[in-house]
């Protein structure tokens, strides 16, 4: 037994000594002792190889220190340990009878933050795979530089036929300058001024999984062959059968749901059952769709490639053997064999080259690559455009071209976006919709946000003009890099300059809302509240002394001092992020807009150019969030009354625009704000999305099942299946479907019984096989004893094991029921966000070293920092124990939809259902606030 195991065993047995249930004081003493011993043994080091990764699993001693015997008990599950630490849940996550619950809470919460930082550092170290051809340099280094320290890449230079080729330096050193660096460009070029193409429209999606593990159904390596045993391909297991058997929402009254169409005249008697999240509202569901339309798109102008393909509804497993579906089966399932979908666009599918480094052979890119047809930057391109076509739909006010065009609509307050008209570029299915850069999959939620942020854009312009009238000769802060010494006075700003500044401000506000308002509600617990605020404000910039203490401890004692380039990257990820917090020189009084190091010096790509990976798209396939019916309310009457039930599908495409203009932003805001969204679980896909009519398909049904299509797209894009996906991200893999059952639940609990039932459904759909222990299935992880993971996954050779390796990633993360408290997403999705959400800030100079008045104007910088023209304004009281500014989306709503002010008075986070009483410390209780007692939503 090693020294560490001996100490650990001693501490754990100290708890148990004397009696079966040790007294709280004895437990507390044992935990404190464990902490001291843990400090003595030292913190674990960052893994050198994939096989040594952290996996979110700590030693017994650490578990005892941070979460007591409960945390020790659940160490043997595959799920991350921080779930079980003190203070990471609601009030019940604090111990009873201890001398100090604050000390245990501190141990638990700072321990969780510690774990998260380890995960992020290792994710940055092991999960960056660029598809532009830079990967060889990343692995082998270049000109004496280690890969992680490389900052420029020839592959990201502008090509000779680019109109800006000469401007950036032609065939010499390319550096963006002048007009190209002043603001966010249409196609996203010149965000990184030394790598003009990075993140621009049309660049390939990256990967987070090793190239060799992508496209598992091609069976390109012996490991993938061993892993899947020839059992998977594009339509196997059958995606429509999976959707119908595992995704369909059960209905208590099918007639009242009417396949998601509700009842005539939006009758309030309609009802579509769905599993609801008590702490997250429908505004949050549409927010994330609104975000994805900024970040990525596989499609071009609402189309995939012209060729159509079959989409399943042909076979199922019967007693573990594939059998064709009979007409009766098809009818029972409700799937459609004659549906067809357009194939995904492929950028490159020629066999990728190989290289050798350190005795190992690597692929230079994935076997196929796909273009991100949007800018990858968080630049509000869904509002402002990302190419020459989309920008034509962005209409500016003819009377003041610094503003967006908004039209008054009689009967509803405020301005509304204009409707697409003849001469605008648009696809037939978008006819009648608002004219916006990204019009696809439009419904009432997207209409809501596009209108809201167009108003916000104009609010900024109005405020700027107001201040310019008061101080026309005042220094706006803006500078022109081509004429850097000239002070641009408030009165000097051209309309274009003001428009561009307003875009920067709106994009940064959106990023801030997402980081410190949406995400802490998505992951509703104390460590994540602290972590996300640190992500935006910088580690020591939260303003709350308690936060600084916890986080400073993490850094000073957790990671030691930086000694080399790799460590430097690791330190950066700890300290970094937050506009201007780390951005080199962004706070400097000597900042020089003509000095590339000042303008660009704060970004860090960790040696791999930034773009979203395919795996990121996978974990954003969040269609279960959407309810079938919107509980519609009237803000001018009684907000507690559900007046109608409006089917989401009745607000699809052009119908959204009618719905918005006839009912107005305030009523939709109230309705979406009060209603709970659908949880991310199996059996929770909207009925209407399984049966959606997309007239653009020239097929017999013209319908498609979006849930099934999500699976097909992932298979087309070569996303590894769930278990290998987890291993690739440094999470522990499962040994069978039974691992999906949450071990925290009592043996006889009803929820547990439901989960056991789901396990049997997974077994029916994905099947089992007789395993062969001689077949190694992965090199991303090893068993705890150091042996390779084989086809038997720890079960005896020759036994029947679950085909857990074949489970589609979306199915797997939907089946994850063991989650940290308040997590609307699963831990598998979470790690994907940890690495990519961080990089999205680290890589963007407009959130780091170019978050400066020279680009944003002084008003712009203050607006982003203060959540509006004045401030900061503090929220009343101390929600969840924190003094905090009024949240940024709440401020946007108050400013632009003033009818909502009375309702919003009670709201702390705009994504928490507005009528809910938040209770104490991260409560998830579904309970009305005092004046919402009559709201029928609380009786459901």
User: How near is the Cβ of 849 to ligand HEM at its closest, in Å?
Assistant: 30
HEC letters along 285-336 = HHHHHHHHHHHCCCCECCECCCCEEECCCCEEEECCEEEECCHHHHHHHCCC
Whole-angstrom distance, CA of residue 866 vs CA of residue 24: 45
Of 704 and 807, nearer to ligand HEM (C-beta) is 704
What does DSSP assign to residue 699?
S
User: What angle, 0 to 180 degrees and rounded to 10, lies between the N-to-C axes of helices 444-470 and 665-674?
Assistant: 120
Of 427 and 779, nearer to ligand HEM (C-beta) is 427
User: How near is the Cβ of 528 to ligand HEM at its closest, in Å?
Assistant: 19
Q: Which helix (H) or strand (E) holds 879?
A: none
Q: Which residue matches tokens 């990519």?
A: 836
Of 443 and 667, nearer to ligand HEM (C-beta) is 443
What residues have CB less than 8 Å from 629, skipping those under 6 apart? 257, 260, 262, 270, 271, 272, 645, 646, 647, 648
Residue 25: how many CB atoms within 10 A of its CB? 11
User: How near is the Cβ of 684 to ligand HEM at its closest, in Å?
Assistant: 13
User: How near is the Cβ of 928 to ligand HEM at its closest, in Å?
Assistant: 26
Give which of 809, 737, 736, 790 is closest to 227, Cα–Cα: 790
Going from the C-alpha of 782 to that of each of 32, 62, 437, the distances in angstroms are 32, 22, 47
User: How near is the Cβ of 913 to ligand HEM at its closest, in Å?
Assistant: 17
User: How near is the Cβ of 293 to ligand HEM at its closest, in Å?
Assistant: 9
Of 495 and 701, nearer to ligand HEM (C-beta) is 701
User: How near is the Cβ of 577 to ligand HEM at its closest, in Å?
Assistant: 23
The 10 Å CB-count burial string (b at 16+, else e) for 538-565 is bbbbbeeeebeebbeebeeebbeeeeee
User: What angle, 0 to 180 degrees and rounded to 10, lies between the N-to-C axes of helices 24-41 and 60-73?
Assistant: 140
Omega prior to 173 cis, within 30 of 0 = no
User: How near is the Cβ of 289 to ligand HEM at its closest, in Å?
Assistant: 4
Of 297 and 723, nearer to ligand HEM (C-beta) is 297
Which tokens sit at 575? 């300290």
User: How near is the Cβ of 476 to ligand HEM at its closest, in Å?
Assistant: 37
Of 394 and 648, nearer to ligand HEM (C-beta) is 648
Grouping H, G, I as helix, E, B as strand and the rest as coil, residue 399 is coil
Q: How many CA atoms lie within 13 A of 191 on its CB side?
A: 31
Of 285 and 629, nearer to ligand HEM (C-beta) is 285
Cβ–Cβ under 8 Å, residues 184 and 839:
no
User: How near is the Cβ of 114 to ligand HEM at its closest, in Å?
Assistant: 30
Phi-psi region of 539 (alpha: psi -120 to 50; beta: other; left: phi over 0): alpha
- Alpha helical stretches, state H, 304-429: 327-333, 381-384
Of 288 and 758, nearer to ligand HEM (C-beta) is 288
User: How near is the Cβ of 707 to ligand HEM at its closest, in Å?
Assistant: 10
User: How near is the Cβ of 616 to ligand HEM at its closest, in Å?
Assistant: 9
Of 205 and 921, nearer to ligand HEM (C-beta) is 205
What burial class does residue 399 get, using C-beta atoms within 10 Å of its C-beta: 0-12 exposed, 13-18 middle, 19+ buried?
A: exposed
Which tokens sit at 217? 């159904």
Of 464 and 668, nearer to ligand HEM (C-beta) is 668
Which tokens sit at 622? 């969040």
Of 286 and 921, nearer to ligand HEM (C-beta) is 286
The 10 Å CB-count burial string (b at 16+, else e) for 613-640 is bbbbbbbbbbbbbbbbbbbbbbbeeebb
Whole-angstrom distance, CA of residue 877 vs CA of residue 896: 25
Binding residues (CB under 6 A) for ligand HEM: these are 285, 288-289, 292, 296-299, 304, 441, 443, 617, 620-623, 625-626, 648, 706, 709, 713
Whole-angstrom distance, CA of residue 302 vs CA of residue 18: 69
Q: Which residue matches tokens 């077949």?
A: 775
Of 632 and 737, nearer to ligand HEM (C-beta) is 632
Whole-angstrom distance, CA of residue 229 vs CA of residue 211: 20
Give which of 477, 575, 358, 495 is closest to 864, Cα–Cα: 477
The 10 Å CB-count burial string (b at 16+, else e) for 655-671 is bbbebbbebbbbbbbbb
User: How near is the Cβ of 375 to ligand HEM at its closest, in Å?
Assistant: 13
Whole-angstrom distance, CA of residue 618 vs CA of residue 406: 35
Of 710 and 802, nearer to ligand HEM (C-beta) is 710
Grouping H, G, I as helix, E, B as strand and the rest as coil, residue 260 is coil
User: How near is the Cβ of 287 to ligand HEM at its closest, in Å?
Assistant: 9
Of 343 and 465, nearer to ligand HEM (C-beta) is 343
Grouping H, G, I as helix, E, B as strand and the rest as coil, residue 901 is helix
Of 188 and 583, nearer to ligand HEM (C-beta) is 188
Of 241 and 677, nearer to ligand HEM (C-beta) is 677
Cβ–Cβ under 8 Å, residues 603 and 573:
no
User: How near is the Cβ of 432 to ligand HEM at its closest, in Å?
Assistant: 16
Of 111 and 199, nearer to ligand HEM (C-beta) is 199
User: How near is the Cβ of 907 to ligand HEM at its closest, in Å?
Assistant: 21
Of 618 and 790, nearer to ligand HEM (C-beta) is 618
User: How near is the Cβ of 814 to ligand HEM at its closest, in Å?
Assistant: 13
Which tokens sit at 167? 């401007």
User: How near is the Cβ of 285 to ligand HEM at its closest, in Å?
Assistant: 5
């Amino acid at each position: 037994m090693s020294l560490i195991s001996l100490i650990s065993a001693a501490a754990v047995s100290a708890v148990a000594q004397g009696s079966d249930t040790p007294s709280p004081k004895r437990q507390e003493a044992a935990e404190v002792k464990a902490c001291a011993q843990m400090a003595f043994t030292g913190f674990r080091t960052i893994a050198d190889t994939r096989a040594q990764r952290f996996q979110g699993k700590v030693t017994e001693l650490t578990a005892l220190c941070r979460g007591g015997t409960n945390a020790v008990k659940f160490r043997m599950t595959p799920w991350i340990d921080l779930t079980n630490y003190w203070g990471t849940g609601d009030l019940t996550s604090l111990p009873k009878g201890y001398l100090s619950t604050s000390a245990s809470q501190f141990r638990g919460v700072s321990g969780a933050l510690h774990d998260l930082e380890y995960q992020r550092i290792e994710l940055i170290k092991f999960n960056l795979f660029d598809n532009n051809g830079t990967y060889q340099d990343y692995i082998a280094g270049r000109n004496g530089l280690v890969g992680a320290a490389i900052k420029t890449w020839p592959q990201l230079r502008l090509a000779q036929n680019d109109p800006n080729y000469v401007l950036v330096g032609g065939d010499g050193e390319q550096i963006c300058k002048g007009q190209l660096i002043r603001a966010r460009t249409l196609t996203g070029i010149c965000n990184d001024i030394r790598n003009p193409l990075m993140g621009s429209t049309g660049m390939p999606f990256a990967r987070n999984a090793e190239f060799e593990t992508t496209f598992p159904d091609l069976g390109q390596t012996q490991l993938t062959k061993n892993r899947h045993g020839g059992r998977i391909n594009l339509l196997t297991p059958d995606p429509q059968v999976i959707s119908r058997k595992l995704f369909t929402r059960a209905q208590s009254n099918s007639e009242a749901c009417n396949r998601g169409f509700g009842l005539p005249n939006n009758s309030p008697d309609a009802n579509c059952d769905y599993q609801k999240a008590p702490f997250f509202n429908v505004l949050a569901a549409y927010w994330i769709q609104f975000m994805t339309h900024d970040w990525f798109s596989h499609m071009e102008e609402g189309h995939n490639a012209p060729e159509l393909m079959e989409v399943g509804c042909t076979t199922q497993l019967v007693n573990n053997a594939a059998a064709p579906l009979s007409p009766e089966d098809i009818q029972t399932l409700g799937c459609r064999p004659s549906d067809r979908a357009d194939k995904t666009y492929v950028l490159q599918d020629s066999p990728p080259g190989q290289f050798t480094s350190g005795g190992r052979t690597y692929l230079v890119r994935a076997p196929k690559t796909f273009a991100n047809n949007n800018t990858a930057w968080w630049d509000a391109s869904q509002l402002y455009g990302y190419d020459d076509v989309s920008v034509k739909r962005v209409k500016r006010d003819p009377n003041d071209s610094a503003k967006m065009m908004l039209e008054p609509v009689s009967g509803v307050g405020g301005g509304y976006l204009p409707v697409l008209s003849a001469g605008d570029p648009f696809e037939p299915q978008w006819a009648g919709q608002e004219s916006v850069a990204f019009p696809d999959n439009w419904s009432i939620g997207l209409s809501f946000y596009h209108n809201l942020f167009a108003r916000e854009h104009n609010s900024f312009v109005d405020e700027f003009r107001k201040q310019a009238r008061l101080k026309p000769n005042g220094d706006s802060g803006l500078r022109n890099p081509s004429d850097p010494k000239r002070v641009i006075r408030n009165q000097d700003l051209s309309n274009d300059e003001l428009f561009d500044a307003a875009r920067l401000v709106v994009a940064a506000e959106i990023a801030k809302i997402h980081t410190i308002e949406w995400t802490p509600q998505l992951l509703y617990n104390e460590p994540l509240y602290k972590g996300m605020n640190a992500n935006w404000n910088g580690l020591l910039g939260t303003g709350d002394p308690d936060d600084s203490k916890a986080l400073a401890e993490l850094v000073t004692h957790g990671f030691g001092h930086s000694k080399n380039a790799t460590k430097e990257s690791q330190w950066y990820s700890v300290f970094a992020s937050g506009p201007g917090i780390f951005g080199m020189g962004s706070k400097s009084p000597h900042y020089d807009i003509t000095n590339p190091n000042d303008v660009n010096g704060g970004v860090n790509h960790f040696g791999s150019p930034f773009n979203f990976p395919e795996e990121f798209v996978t974990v954003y396939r969040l269609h279960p969030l959407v309810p079938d019916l919107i509980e519609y309310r009237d803000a001018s009457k009684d907000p507690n009354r559900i007046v109608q039930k409006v089917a989401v599908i009745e607000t699809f495409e052009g119908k959204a625009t009618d719905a918005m203009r006839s009912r107005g932003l305030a009523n939709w805001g109230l309705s979406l704000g009060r209603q709970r969204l659908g949880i991310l679980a199996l059996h929770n896909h909207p009925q209407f999305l399984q049966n959606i009519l997309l007239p653009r398909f020239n097929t017999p049904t013209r319908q498609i099942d979006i849930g099934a299509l999500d699976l097909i797209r992932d298979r087309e894009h070569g996303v590894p299946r769930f278990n290998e996906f987890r291993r690739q991200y440094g999470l522990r893999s499962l040994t069978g479907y039974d691992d999906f059952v949450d071990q925290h639940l009592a043996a006889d609990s009803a929820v547990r019984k439901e989960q056991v039932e789901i396990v049997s459904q997974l077994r029916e759909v994905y099947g089992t096989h007789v395993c062969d222990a001689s077949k190694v299935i992965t090199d991303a992880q090893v068993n705890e004893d150091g042996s390779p993971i084989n086809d038997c996954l720890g079960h005896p050779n020759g036994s029947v094991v679950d085909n857990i390796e074949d489970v589609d990633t979306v199915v797997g993360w939907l089946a994850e029921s063991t989650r940290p408290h308040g997590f609307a997403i699963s831990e598998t999705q979470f790690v994907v966000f940890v690495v990519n959400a961080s990089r999205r800030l680290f890589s963007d100079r407009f959130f780091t070293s170019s978050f400066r008045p020279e680009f944003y104007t002084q008003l712009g910088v203050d607006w982003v920092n203060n959540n509006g023209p004045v401030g900061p304004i503090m929220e009343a009281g101390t929600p969840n124990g924190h003094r905090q500014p009024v949240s940024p989306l709440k401020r946007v709503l108050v400013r632009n939809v003033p009818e909502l002010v009375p309702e919003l008075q009670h709201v702390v986070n705009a994504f928490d259902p507005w009528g809910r009483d938040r209770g104490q410390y991260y409560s998830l209780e579904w309970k009305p606030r005092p004046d919402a007692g009559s709201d029928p939503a609380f009786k459901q």
